[in-house]
Copies of this chain bind each other. A is one copy, B any other.
């Protein structure tokens, strides 16, 4: 039997101390165990990591943002240089396509995201400095001064990895140490990323314990970790049940908890759009729903389709694609079991399976894509159960009787990450779109017109978040710099603090050209100069 892989704790790679167990990854395509053994960290290891992170926090908070940016840029470079190894590891552990998904989409997105975080750190764009000269007050967002715990999800081994993704980059850009809890379905990928991060960190001259990583925790250990008042904030992406348990523990300790939980991302296909390009929309929907085996937070899991000739044609065209699709590989046996349970729950709530039962599920963690359907009346009669998330290549068509019923359906949604409306190009649906959007607006983070929700651009105007239970707070995004950074920031006000004792970005002189709001006007000028 192999020795256990080392953990990254207190500034270096160490043998696991008193591990609570061990595990290996599996190849989802075969179900076979692969790679070395990794430790499940116990309470003693977690204690050491928290102590080290607390000790590193003041030093990192005081570090020159240029060094932080240098680290993030070097990490991005290192990831790109190691692309072959990273893609091979992630492909083996997740069965996501090496290309285009991992190599050409997710890896560049990850390095690009780290570079955007670096830029935000250099430009201080996340700090939102405000100067009120009459009141003698100045404020800016600053580091929490405490460690941030990041729980990574299973579905993005790079871009949301606990030690490389958006939460990681955001917390570091705000100069907080990160204690990463990698997802146990891709431990070798996480280890390879953490090695690159560790090397980059030393090169940048930042505290070595600014980045730590554990592979796996027992549930009770995770709950105890996030319930420590020493923790500055927690970021979690994953299942609603696990997320809500962690949230309760963090809430009780007053620790801000940023969760991205679950979402069905409703899509409204208006009749004019269907009449105009129903066949193309069926293909667009099918591709979005089955991309990455449907394992996207923004998967279109619910589509509202009118009970019209064009709607029927769309449903038939979509069903044909689902029927013809081969079985798809999920990340884990657990995932497959949960998906089957979710589909069963939808069927029990009144949905019918209209396509996809035929595909044999075969080896590994394969499932058949499935298309379900329910009439609008049935949906409205049991909206709570019929908007349950089925995480995988599954979607529910809700067939609306008319525009009024479609609006009622829109008003029955709980918090979601996104909602989408497809309109006819000739403007014929615009009145109905204009009626639907205000109903959807308070229920989602991102409103989309005429495209599927699965594309999540890393943009300052993105909101990858939404009202509860899609996310834990409606005011923050998990993706997009500098907004995502602000989750890990404290508001710092300075009351009659002399210039020399202020942080550089709040002093009279502004040599870095930081955007600041001075007496109500945004400017990059020094204080007293014209804006």
Q: Using a CB–CB distance below 8 Å, which chain A residues touch chain B?
A: 57-58, 61-62, 125, 130-132, 135, 137-139, 141-146, 229, 247-248, 251-256, 414-415, 418, 430, 433-434, 437-439, 441-443, 445-451, 457, 459-463, 465, 467-469, 472-477, 483, 486-487, 489-498, 500-501, 515, 517, 520-523
Chosen A-B contacts, 29 in total, with CB atoms closer than 8 Å, are A62-B438, A130-B460, A132-B459, A132-B461, A137-B457, A137-B459, A139-B460, A141-B475, A142-B441, A144-B442, A145-B441, A251-B251, A256-B473, A418-B495, A430-B501, A433-B501, A434-B501, A445-B490, A447-B497, A448-B495, A448-B496, A451-B495, A451-B496, A461-B493, A465-B491, A474-B491, A475-B486, A515-B521, A522-B522
Cβ contacts under 8 Å, A146 to chain B: 442
A130 to B482, CA, bound (A): 11
Cβ contacts under 8 Å, A447 to chain B: 492-495, 497
Task: Verify A491–B486 contact, CB threshold 8 A.
Answer: no
**The residue from B130, B449, B457 contacting A135, defined by CB atoms under 8 A apart:** B457
Task: Verify A461–B137 contact, CB threshold 8 A.
Answer: yes
7 shortest interchain CB distances as A-B pairs: A145-B442, A254-B468, A522-B522, A463-B493, A137-B461, A474-B490, A251-B251
Task: Verify A461–B138 contact, CB threshold 8 A.
Answer: yes
**The residue from B58, B474, B491, B521 contacting A463, defined by CB atoms under 8 A apart:** B491
Distance (whole angstroms) from the CB of A42 to the closest CB of chain B: 27
**The residue from B61, B418, B443, B469 contacting A254, defined by CB atoms under 8 A apart:** B469
A463 to B415, CA, bound (A): 30
Nearest CB in chain B to that of A490: its residue: B474
What number of copies of this chain does the assembly contain?
A: 2
Nearest CB in chain B to that of A143: its residue: B442
Nearest CB in chain B to that of A469: its residue: B254
Cβ contacts under 8 Å, A446 to chain B: 493-495
Task: Verify A463–B496 contact, CB threshold 8 A.
Answer: no
Given contact pairs A139-B460, A256-B474, A450-B496, a sample of 20 additional A-B residue pairs in the complex whose CB atoms are under 8 Å apart: A57-B442, A130-B461, A137-B457, A144-B474, A145-B442, A146-B442, A254-B469, A256-B473, A442-B490, A447-B492, A447-B495, A447-B497, A448-B497, A449-B495, A451-B496, A461-B493, A463-B491, A465-B491, A467-B490, A515-B521
Nearest CB in chain B to that of A450: its residue: B496
Distance (whole angstroms) from the CB of A483 to the closest CB of chain B: 7
Cβ contacts under 8 Å, A522 to chain B: 515, 522-523
Interface of A is mostly: mixed
**The residue from B462, B472, B491 contacting A139, defined by CB atoms under 8 A apart:** B462
Cβ contacts under 8 Å, A475 to chain B: 141, 256, 486-487, 489-491
Task: Verify A445–B132 contact, CB threshold 8 A.
Answer: no
Distance (whole angstroms) from the CB of A422 to the closest CB of chain B: 11
Nearest CB in chain B to that of A473: its residue: B256
Distance (whole angstroms) from the CB of A190 to the closest CB of chain B: 29
Nearest CB in chain B to that of A457: its residue: B135
Distance (whole angstroms) from the CB of A65 to the closest CB of chain B: 15
Distance (whole angstroms) from the CB of A452 to the closest CB of chain B: 10
A485 to B517, CA, bound (A): 17
Task: Verify A58–B474 contact, CB threshold 8 A.
Answer: no
Nearest CB in chain B to that of A516: its residue: B522
Nearest CB in chain B to that of A254: its residue: B468
A501 to B423, CA, bound (A): 12
Contact A131 B491, CB 8 Å, known A58-B438, A144-B442, A473-B256: no
Contact A461 B139, CB 8 Å, known A61-B442, A495-B448, A515-B522: yes
Cβ contacts under 8 Å, A473 to chain B: 256
**The residue from B130, B141, B253, B449 contacting A501, defined by CB atoms under 8 A apart:** B449
Nearest CB in chain B to that of A503: its residue: B441
A187 to B449, CA, bound (A): 49
Cβ contacts under 8 Å, A448 to chain B: 495-497
Cβ contacts under 8 Å, A489 to chain B: 474-475
Cβ contacts under 8 Å, A494 to chain B: 446-447, 461
Distance (whole angstroms) from the CB of A130 to the closest CB of chain B: 4
A437 to B145, CA, bound (A): 13
